[in-house]
């Protein structure tokens, strides 16, 4: 019998994160959002709560949980605010996970305890200004010279890259040519503050305004040869596997935003009166909210299924793409409906749904666009 109920430990985690999001994040995140400011203290508190170490073994300072535990936490964070949810998601999936999955024992011992505690944040530099979905079109280069990698190039749209907590960025770079003539792409750790490594100003974004997103540049940046992550020439393949996992996490984040839209709409529809009664008594409003709940609940099942297959060790690429595609579009739909339920107030930044609306669109773009997800699903079915 299928049973999607959370076990006692995961339910306790969910309630703890829910309480933290409501009591710590909700009262103050709107001000950070409007100031376009990264809330360092809130991020430190999320570290103290153990959120950055959820899926990692205790030997590295982690909680010894699963990737599903991370997804449950992300959903609860995004129910209140997506900026903080993506900070955790990127810190874990893109900052720490490549080192955990592919790093040497020395790299793991050096970096993971700090990343798991939230004392440090890591970032992953894949996307380039002219790359976008064509991640294989990497132009950043790294050549070996006297036992060091010498890196030149630039990266774009990198999350967690320039905060005062950021201590490393793992970058993909062309390190040679494959036997078939294609690019040999490898992953290399670049510690923050390395000479020649420049972090640009924060982007002015439509949404996720309390998260940190920057452009990076590398000019003859020298790091030790042992900073290579995984096998030389396997950097691109390694990152694709990280993305498969990350899509489940982004799906969970999307579900959180979609559910947050339901929460706020139910609350508002019960309080706002028009024509002598709460607007929720009007069937048009009630049906809109019911449809929002249907979408959020269905999207949750999609990411639960993808996470289940991942934890079983079964192929899950198709399920991850389905979950990411569907839940991100659900988040966008629910944000639009929630704004409509709120009427003119939904267009005011003081209301959470305005923030949800601004945050939702990137979910259809980041970590693989909706078009890329459809392509991957079709390809897995043998028709793409």
- Residues annotated as catalytic are 367
Give the number of other CB atoms < 10 A from CB of residue 95: 28
Could you give phi then psi for residue 166, rounded to 5 degrees?
A: -70, 130
Per-state percent for the chain, helix, strand, coil, to nearest 5: 55, 15, 25
User: Which candidate, 10, 100, 84, places its Cα nearest to that of 47?
Assistant: 84
Measure the CA–CA gap between 251 and 249, rounded to whole angstroms: 5
CA atoms within 13 A of residue 360's CA, in its CB half-sphere: 28
Measure the CA–CA gap between 70 and 58, rounded to whole angstroms: 15
Strands (E), the chain: 121-125, 141-145, 148-159, 166-177, 183-191, 197-202, 213-224, 228-229, 273-274, 277-278
Measure the CA–CA gap between 135 and 369, rounded to whole angstroms: 12
Measure the CA–CA gap between 100 and 148, rounded to whole angstroms: 22
Give the number of other CB atoms < 10 A from CB of residue 181: 6
CB distance 140 to 174 below 8 Å? yes
Measure the CA–CA gap between 172 and 239, rounded to whole angstroms: 9
Q: Tokens representing 137?
A: 């079109």
Could you give phi then psi for residue 80, rounded to 5 degrees?
A: -110, -45
Could you give phi then psi for residue 160, rounded to 5 degrees?
A: 65, 25
**DSSP-derived pairing of the beta strands 183-191 and 166-177:** antiparallel
Q: Which helix (H) or strand (E) is 188 found in, with range? A: strand 183-191
User: Which candidate, 300, 306, 379, places its Cα nearest to that of 5?
Assistant: 300
CB distance 13 to 69 below 8 Å? yes
């Amino acid at each position: 019998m299928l049973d999607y109920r959370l076990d006692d430990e995961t339910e306790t985690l969910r309630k703890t994160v829910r309480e933290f999001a409501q009591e710590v994040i909700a009262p103050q995140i709107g001000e950070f959002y409007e100031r376009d400011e990264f809330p360092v203290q809130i991020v430190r508190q999320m570290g103290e709560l153990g959120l950055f170490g959820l899926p990692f073994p205790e030997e590295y300072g982690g909680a010894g949980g699963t990737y599903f535990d991370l997804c449950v936490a992300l959903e609860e964070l995004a129910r209140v605010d997506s900026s903080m949810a993506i900070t955790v998601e990127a810190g874990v999936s893109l900052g720490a996970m490549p080192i955990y999955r592919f790093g040497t024992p020395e790299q793991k011992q050096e970096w993971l305890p700090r990343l798991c505690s939230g004392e440090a944040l890591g970032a992953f530099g894949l996307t380039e200004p002219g790359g976008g979905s064509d991640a294989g079109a990497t132009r950043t280069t790294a050549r070996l010279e006297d036992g060091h990698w010498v890196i030149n190039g630039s990266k774009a749209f990198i999350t967690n890259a320039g905060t005062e907590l950021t201590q490393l960025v793992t970058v993909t770079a062309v390190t040679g040519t494959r036997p078939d003539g294609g690019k040999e792409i490898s992953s290399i750790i670049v510690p923050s503050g390395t000479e020649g490594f420049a972090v640009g100003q924060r982007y002015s974004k439509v949404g996720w305004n309390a998260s940190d997103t920057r452009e990076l540049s590398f000019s003859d940046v020298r790091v030790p040869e042992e900073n290579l992550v995984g096998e030389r020439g396997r950097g691109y393949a390694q990152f694709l596997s990280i993305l498969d996992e990350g899509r489940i996490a982004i799906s969970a984040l999307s579900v959180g935003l979609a559910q947050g839209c339901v929460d706020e709409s139910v609350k508002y529809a019960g309080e706002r009166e028009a024509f002598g009664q709460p607007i929720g008594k009007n069937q048009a409003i009630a049906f809109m909210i019911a449809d929002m709940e249907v979408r959020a609940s269905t999207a949750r099942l999609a990411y639960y299924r993808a996470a289940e297959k991942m934890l079983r060790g079964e192929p899950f690429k198709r399920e991850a793409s389905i979950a990411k595609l569907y839940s991100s579009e659900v988040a966008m739909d629910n944000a639009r409906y929630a704004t409509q339920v709120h009427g003119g107030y939904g267009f005011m930044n003081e209301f959470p749904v305005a923030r949800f609306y601004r945050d939702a669109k990137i979910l259809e773009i980041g970590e693989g666009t909706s078009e890329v997800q459809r392509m991957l699903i079709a390809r897995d079915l043998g028709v793409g």
